[in-house]
Amino acid sequence: MAGILDGKKIVVMGVANKKSIAWGCTQALLRQGAQVILTYQNDRIKRSIKRFVPDDAILVECDVSEDKNVEKAFKEIGSKCGKIDGVIHAIAYADRDTLTNDFVKTNKEGYDLAENISAYSLISVCRYAKPILNNPGSVMTMTYFGSTRAIPNYNMMGVAKASLEANVRYLARDLGKDGIRVNAISAGALKTLAVTGIKEHMKLLDMSKALTVNDKSVTIDEVGNTAAFLMSDLSTGLTGDIIYVDKGVHLI
């Protein structure tokens, strides 16, 4: 049976381990017939993901902390793969002190770092992916409910996600004329390695589960399935949107 992504080439940025949302997205894309290109930050992560990604997976280095790295990565992707159909941006970072301290203690260095990696990088990715994106094309990023609510201990990351969501709207406006849509998935709290960096993260996970409509946390597969839809031509009418995949937590 044909998949909704047969013949599509999709770049996934942010796969670090088997528990990451980006890996859930990658698996969903593969199930729907896509060819997937994965970017990695450094050699350590490359060695880690090579243990579980398909042997024929195309891997491209991309540390989004510098524009020149993003530009180089998408030029390499274009050289290896030609035109692509979509990009999934699943990248966020804040240093430990910035994440664990009270928000009022956030310093400029920590603020700038979190904004640069978690929010600005989407702009850079869109700019350098644009020349090789097909029309129609799709870009998607990952956000969280803490962008609009003061979630305990989410702190600076919530502020960065708010910026990211604003970036989605303005990028959707700018790139629409080129047939490129830009959306975000707001996923429920998931037990990933990334969430362990948040102070008292188990309380966050328990709170999120308690607020779902069926007392079951969302899974990376469920998030990935929505990502596959957003990468497909079934979603050409959607742009500039935040799609909640959180089992109803945002209904509070």
Tell the burial category of 150 from Cβ atoms under 10 Å away from its Cβ (0-12, 13-18, 19+): exposed
The span from the CA of 235 to the CA of 251, in Å, is 23
Is there a catalytic annotation at residue 144? yes
Radius of gyration of the chain from its Cα atoms, rounded to whole angstroms: 17
At 141, list the tokens.
């990023």
Q: How is residue 116 written in tokens?
A: 């640069």
Catalytic hit among 120, 128, 154, 244: 154
Degrees (nearest 5) of the Cα angle 126, 141, 185?
145
In 3D space, the residue among 197, 187, 195, 196 whose CA is nearest the CA of residue 164 turns out to be 187
Nearest to 81 by CA among 129, 23, 17: 129
Q: Is 120 a catalytic residue?
A: no
* Given the residues 120, 144, 170, 244, the one annotated as active site: 144
Classify 185 as helix, strand or coil: strand
Strand order in the sheet with 242-245: 58-61, 35-40, 9-13, 84-89, 133-143, 180-187, 242-245
Q: List the structure tokens of 32.
A: 């729907």
For 104, residues 6+ apart whose C-beta sits below 8 A from its C-beta are: none
Kindly list the catalytic residues.
Answer: 144, 154
